[in-house]
Chains A and B, each alone.
Chain A
Amino acid sequence: NAGVTQTPKFQVLKTGQSMTLQCAQDMNHNSMYWYRQDPGMGLRLIYYSASEGTTDKGEVPNGYNVSRLNKREFSLRLESAAPSQTSVYFCASTRTVTETQYFGPGTRLLVL
């Protein structure tokens, strides 16, 4: 049982390049989330998917898009990366609204 997995672990991009961060969970959870964590700050919600087929904006959605491919997978896309998107990105999932979220190991992204 792998829990929540994320790929890649680390990525360097040049300004303007695009990339997709992948996330998958094997816990049959309904809701999935993307967060970013910056130094001296807590995790901030970028986008979430309450269930398969639905996505919605979180606190800091600008510059990102998401796709809930199926119940297991939730990807985050940067269409044109900017240095301000240098961060650590975490994916999370939860079964119901009252249960805790389980996090993946993170993707460290550096945009030059």
Chain B
Amino acid sequence: DQQVKQNSPSLSVQEGRISILNCDYTNSMFDYFLWYKKYPAEGPTFLISISSIKDKNEDGRFTVFLNKSAKHLSLHIVPSQPGDSAVYFCADNLPMFSGGYNKLIFGAGTRLAVHP
């Protein structure tokens, strides 16, 4: 049974510093991992992803690292900005080819606060 855990419910970081958000998962094989960002009263928006065949993916200030042996991924934001303050969800994306849909298993989220 696939599970995704984000063990830190909140994180506070000073503007300009690095934010590191962590996520642990179980039972991967052809998984594809995503990070979503969510502001209050809005839906989650896709931020960055990583395929299980890679160990790093970078997009501007955002980098996701995947450690397959530890079943751990992390999102690095450098430098952090006040506008990055949001809830970040890690999700395990399982394509169900026979069913024609993809299954997302979400972590509980980490609330990031970036202070000036």
A residues apposed to B, CB below 8 Å: 4, 30-31, 33, 40-45, 48-51, 54, 56, 90, 92, 94, 97-106
Contact between A106 and B43 (Cβ–Cβ < 8 Å)?
Answer: yes
What is the bound-complex CA distance between A77 and B43, given in angstroms?
20
Contact between A45 and B103 (Cβ–Cβ < 8 Å)?
Answer: yes
Nearest chain A CB to B44's CB is how many angstroms away?
Answer: 5
What is the bound-complex CA distance between A94 and B105, given in angstroms?
15
Contact between A103 and B95 (Cβ–Cβ < 8 Å)?
Answer: no
By Cβ-Cβ distance, the 5 closest A-B pairs, closest first, are: A42-B106, A103-B43, A50-B100, A97-B95, A50-B101
Contact between A100 and B4 (Cβ–Cβ < 8 Å)?
Answer: no
B residues apposed to A, CB below 8 Å: 4, 9, 32, 34, 36, 41-46, 49, 89, 91, 93, 95-97, 99-109
Contact between A101 and B104 (Cβ–Cβ < 8 Å)?
Answer: yes
What is the bound-complex CA distance between A94 and B101, given in angstroms?
8
